[in-house]
């Protein structure tokens, strides 16, 4: 038995359950030994709204505080939820490594979507970065890693990450001093400042400025080297006698736009929260056309919100390559191509009986700029 629904096909009675918007929230993992005014430990992540909790006066403590401050200066006054952050200590030696600290935060149930590691004077190793990112088992975290890589050095953390890790890792070059983590924290702050409930709010990193961040790249040679290995930076650009320092180019290690990946995390999270709201507010989701319709409504609500805030882009003519990608995602359904081109997205839901249970399998295909993304989910209905 299978019951399905696609766009423009009305079945059953509509159940209006909107998808709650998901704020983007940052997590800092800081070195063990950093002096704080609160009991921030490897076992106690704490919510912070500024950098005042970091009170030490050593060079390492000041560097950590400076980096956290750059995050908050980049977020600005955008409301409580987007500007909140989590912070946790880890230990470079002993039992709590950065990946273990991340796992503690995942287990804590405190929501966060972005993560950065402030490592003091020594950048995170490639092996530690791979171990850290491996904790993100459902690809729900955007990582911002700092690097001291220059044109003549061989570290290149982002370049050396495993291919599986590169998709959700933004590596930012921030210079060579103890404050080199500032740039990555500022980049995360720009992303986390987004209020997705506002029209046209979908973020981008390119051309963004941050208070107190100076250019780490000022010449064409360094620009070419770092962009060639997909490392980001705040760069100095001069045109017609005027100088500008802004973030460049805002891509992850696999070449995808960091903001598009974060937007995808927002959309996935918004759908998931909407479905959980549906599950917890209805006596049950019936295994019939009405049940499929209610799930469809949640996904459509999130997609409509994505159209409003700019996460999804409508009325874009798809290239032959992108048309083929949509057809592949939609298993040859030409209607999906028309939907994605005209309205920006295509949804299909299907209820399938497997044994003693029914599964509602849904697919959302949507466009943003030159990217075609797909969100697939399965939920068991009773």
Same domain? For 85 and 123 the reply is: yes
Among 23-27, 43-47, 148-152, 325-329, the range with the most confident prediction by mean pLDDT is: 325-329
Domain boundary among 216, 249, 282: 249
Same domain? For 181 and 303 the reply is: no
Q: What is the pLDDT of residue 38?
A: 76
| Neighbour tally for 51: CB within 10 Å | 21
Could you read off the pLDDT of 10-23 as tens digits, one per residue? Answer: 334 445 555 666 67
Q: Report yes or no: 25 and 112 within 8 Å, Cβ to Cβ.
A: yes
Is residue 257, in this structure, part of any structural domain at all?
no
Cα 133 from Cα 117, distance rounded (Å): 11
Cα 149 from Cα 216, distance rounded (Å): 11
Residue 159: pLDDT band with limits 50, 70, 90: low
Q: What is the pLDDT of residue 56?
A: 86
* Phi, psi for residue 35 in degrees, rounded to 5: -80, 125
Residue 289: pLDDT band with limits 50, 70, 90: confident
Same domain? For 7 and 41 the reply is: no
Same domain? For 245 and 276 the reply is: no
Is residue 264, in this structure, part of any structural domain at all?
no
Same domain? For 277 and 232 the reply is: no
Residue 382: pLDDT band with limits 50, 70, 90: very low
- Axis-axis angle for helices 258-281, 182-192 (nearest 10): 50
Same domain? For 292 and 234 the reply is: no
Is residue 165, in this structure, part of any structural domain at all?
yes
Q: How many domains does the chain have?
A: 2
Domain boundary among 214, 249, 284: 249
Which residue, 51, 74, 73, is CA-closest to 63? 51
Q: What is the DSSP letter of 137?
A: T
Same domain? For 178 and 77 the reply is: yes
Q: What is the pLDDT of residue 7?
A: 39
pTM of the model: 0.87
The CA–CA distances, whole Å, from 297 to 2, 45, 223, 303 equal 18, 36, 46, 10
Q: List helix spans (H) across the chain.
A: 59-75, 80-83, 98-108, 126-134, 157-160, 163-166, 182-192, 220-228, 258-281, 289-309, 320-329, 334-343
Could you read off the pLDDT of 326-339 as tens digits, one per residue? Answer: 989 888 888 999 99
- Helix, strand, or coil here: 310? coil
Residue 179: pLDDT band with limits 50, 70, 90: confident
Q: Is the pLDDT of residue 79 over 60?
A: no
The CA–CA distances, whole Å, from 184 to 26, 113, 125, 127, 226 equal 12, 15, 16, 19, 15
Q: Is the pLDDT of residue 105 over 80?
A: yes
Q: Is the pLDDT of residue 381 over 80?
A: no
Q: Select the more confidently predicted residue: 82 or 31.
A: 31
Is residue 188, in this structure, part of any structural domain at all?
yes
Q: Is the pLDDT of residue 93 over 80?
A: no
Q: Select the more confidently predicted residue: 347 or 165.
A: 347
List the domain range (segments joined by +) for residue 119.
Answer: 26-201+206-249
Could you read off the pLDDT of 217-239 as tens digits, one per residue? Answer: 988 888 988 888 889 999 998 88
Is residue 68, in this structure, part of any structural domain at all?
yes
Same domain? For 34 and 54 the reply is: yes
Q: Is the pLDDT of residue 379 over 60?
A: no
Q: What is the pLDDT of residue 152?
A: 46
Same domain? For 182 and 33 the reply is: yes
Mean per-residue pLDDT over the chain, rounded: 82
Same domain? For 171 and 123 the reply is: yes
């Amino acid at each position: 038995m299978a019951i399905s629904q696609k766009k423009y096909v009305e079945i059953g009675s509509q159940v209006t359950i909107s998808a709650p918007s998901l704020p983007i929230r940052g997590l800092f993992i800081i070195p063990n030994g950093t002096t704080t005014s609160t009991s921030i430990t490897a076992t106690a992540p704490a919510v912070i709204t500024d950098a005042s909790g970091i009170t030490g006066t050593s060079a390492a403590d000041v560097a950590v505080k400076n980096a956290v401050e750059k995050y908050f200066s980049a977020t600005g006054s955008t409301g409580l939820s987007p500007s909140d952050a989590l912070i946790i200590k880890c230990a470079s030696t002993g039992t709590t490594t950065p990946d273990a600290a991340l796992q503690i935060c995942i287990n804590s149930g405190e929501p966060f979507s972005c993560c950065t590691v402030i490592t003091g004077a020594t950048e995170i190793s490639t092996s530690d970065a791979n171990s850290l990112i491996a904790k993100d088992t459902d690809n729900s975290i955007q990582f911002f890693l700092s690097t001291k890589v220059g044109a003549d050095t061989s570290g290149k953390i982002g370049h050396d990450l495993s291919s599986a890790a590169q998709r959700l890792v933004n590596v930012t070059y921030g210079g060579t001093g103890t404050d080199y983590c500032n740039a990555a924290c500022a980049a995360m702050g720009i992303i986390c400042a987004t209020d997705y409930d506002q029209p046209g709010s979908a973020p981008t990193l390119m051309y963004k400025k941050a208070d107190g961040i100076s250019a780490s790249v000022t010449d064409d040679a360094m620009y070419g080297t770092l962009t060639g290995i997909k490392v980001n930076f705040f760069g100095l650009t001069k045109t017609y006698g005027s100088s500008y320092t802004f973030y460049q180019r805002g891509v992850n290690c696999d070449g995808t736009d960091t903001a598009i990946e974060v937007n995808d995390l927002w959309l996935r999270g918004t759908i998931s929260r909407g479905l959980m709201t549906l599950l917890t507010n209805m006596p049950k989701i019936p295994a019939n056309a009405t049940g499929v319709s209610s799930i469809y409504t949640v996904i459509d609500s999130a997609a409509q919100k994505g159209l409003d805030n700019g996460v999804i882009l409508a009325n874009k003519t798809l290239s032959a390559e992108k048309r083929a990608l949509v057809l592949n995602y939609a298993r040859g359904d030409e209607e999906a191509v028309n939907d994605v081109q005209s309205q920006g997205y295509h949804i299909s839901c299907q209820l399938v009986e497997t044994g003693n249970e029914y599964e509602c399998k849904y697919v959302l295909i949507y466009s943003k700029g030159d990217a075609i993304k797909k969100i697939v989910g399965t939920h068991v209905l009773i």
